[in-house]
Amino acid sequence: MRPHLTSDNHHLSRFTLSSGGMSPFPAINARADGSPPEEVRRLIEQSLSANTRRAYLSDLAHFEAWGGVVPATPTTVAAYLADYADRLRVATLVRRVTAIGKVHEARGLPNPVRSELVRATLRGIRRTRGSPQREARPLLREDLGGIVDALDTTLRDRRDRALLLVGFAGGFRRSELVGLDRADIEPVREGLVVTLRRSKTDQAGKSRKIGIPHGRTRWCPVSALEAWLSYSGIKGGPLFRPINRHGHVASGRLSGEAVSIIVQERAAAAGLDPRGFSGHSLRSGMATSAARAGVPSWKIRTQTGHASDAMLARYIRSGELFIDNAVSALL
């Protein structure tokens, strides 16, 4: 049964306003040393990326709309999971209980998600309703080449050629790709050194350098990026930007969703079925193509920034399905 909520229920969770929307963190009283609570709250919120905060807020809003409260009991969270077991994907439910757990821990409250009741409920959902996680279709080297060859010499074509080739060569996530600035690109004799200042796995901003060498084929990412910078006139600020219908380059940066649209539209224009392609297809395509070419997994990880071989496993397995396949010696 859903918990009954009334406007005077002091347990009803309320999220304090902050820049950019609501905050999953509680209001913080001033410290004894006089530190302003606004500054403390700002620093705490900066521990999460903007995308993560938005995702948490969306998940918490869904929980509250159902009738959840913070603090929540394990029984309430388990009931929430059971109620949506038939309506939401398992990955979505996992993400939502993660958000519920995070807000409890941020407020110093017991985390109901760690209870055996909630964990057992999730295991039961996985066993009865689980399905394979949808994965982006990798944009393999040969298909990428076909897409690039179909591009013309307009400003938009030059941008998309550079975006596709640099995204593939760097093994970048779409958020990493659109987050690049002109200052993050350093030409060197061997090609380019790209400084990735922040990523999904580097929330602290320690940064990481990625080498993109000169290509040995007509699909050279270095040449493609140089051409885009030359024709666009970009000297600073965002590296990849929107272009309006009059051919003018905007001052802002492309969105992550725009990368997905570009990949799908350019794939379709080259005669490929765009279904399954997304912004992640560049990253998975590089890893899969490298695995097929026999590149050691540790070298692939150096480029993509994966923390372990386990994180690369699905790409490697896909890339090696037909290498030394046992059946090839029989039929």
All CATH 1.10.150.130 domain ranges in the chain, comma separated: 17-129
Q: Which of 102, 158, 283, 292 is catalytic?
A: 283
Mark whether 56 is an active-site residue: no
Q: Which of 53, 56, 253, 315 is catalytic?
A: 315
Q: Mean pLDDT across the stretch 314-326?
A: 64
Cα-flanking dihedrals φ and ψ of residue 226, to 5°?
-60, -40
Instruction: Tell me if residue 78 falls in helix, strand or coil.
Output: helix
| Contact status, residue 163 vs residue 240, Cβ threshold 8 Å | yes
Which of the two residues, 70 and 44, has the higher pLDDT score? 70
Cα-flanking dihedrals φ and ψ of residue 114, to 5°?
-80, -5
| Contact status, residue 251 vs residue 241, Cβ threshold 8 Å | yes
Mark whether 173 is an active-site residue: yes
pLDDT class for 4, splitting at 50, 70, 90?
Answer: very low
Mark whether 89 is an active-site residue: no
Mark whether 306 is an active-site residue: yes
pLDDT for res 38: 63
Which of the two residues, 324 and 40, has the higher pLDDT score? 324
Superfamily of domain 141-319: Intergrase catalytic core (1.10.443.10)
Q: Mean pLDDT across the stretch 167-186?
A: 94
CATH architecture of 17-129: Orthogonal Bundle (1.10)
Closest residue by Cα to residue 264 from 282, 281, 277, 283: 277
Give the 3-state secondary structure of 166-195.
HHHHHCCCHHHHHCCEHHHEEEECCEEEEE
pLDDT class for 126, splitting at 50, 70, 90?
Answer: confident
Separation CA 173–CA 56 (nearest Å):
20
Q: Which of 173, 174, 253, 292 is catalytic?
A: 173
The string of pLDDT tens digits covering residues 300-310 is 888 888 777 66
CA 258 to chain CA mean position, Å:
13
Separation CA 107–CA 223 (nearest Å):
51
DSSP 122-148: HHHHHHHH--PPP-PPP--HHHHHHHH
Q: Mean pLDDT across the stretch 228-242?
A: 96
Residue whose token pair is 């410290």: 31
Q: Token digits for 41?
A: 């709250």
Separation CA 202–CA 32 (nearest Å):
33
Q: Which of 53, 161, 280, 292 is catalytic?
A: 280
**Range from 72-81, 119-128, 149-158, 257-266 carrying the lowest mean pLDDT:** 119-128
Which of the two residues, 263 and 9, has the higher pLDDT score? 263
Residue whose token pair is 């297809």: 281
The string of pLDDT tens digits covering residues 6-53 is 333 333 444 433 334 445 555 444 445 444 456 655 655 666 666 777
Q: How many secondary structure helices (H) and strands (E) does the chain include? A: 13, 5
Q: Token digits for 58?
A: 């969306």
pLDDT for res 171: 92
All CATH 1.10.443.10 domain ranges in the chain, comma separated: 141-319
From the CA atom positions of the chain, what is the Rg in Å? 24
Mark whether 283 is an active-site residue: yes
With a CB cutoff of 8 Å and minimum separation 6, the contacts of 61 are none
Mark whether 214 is an active-site residue: no
Q: Which of 200, 209, 248, 317 is catalytic?
A: 200
Whole-number percent of the chain with pLDDT over 70: 73
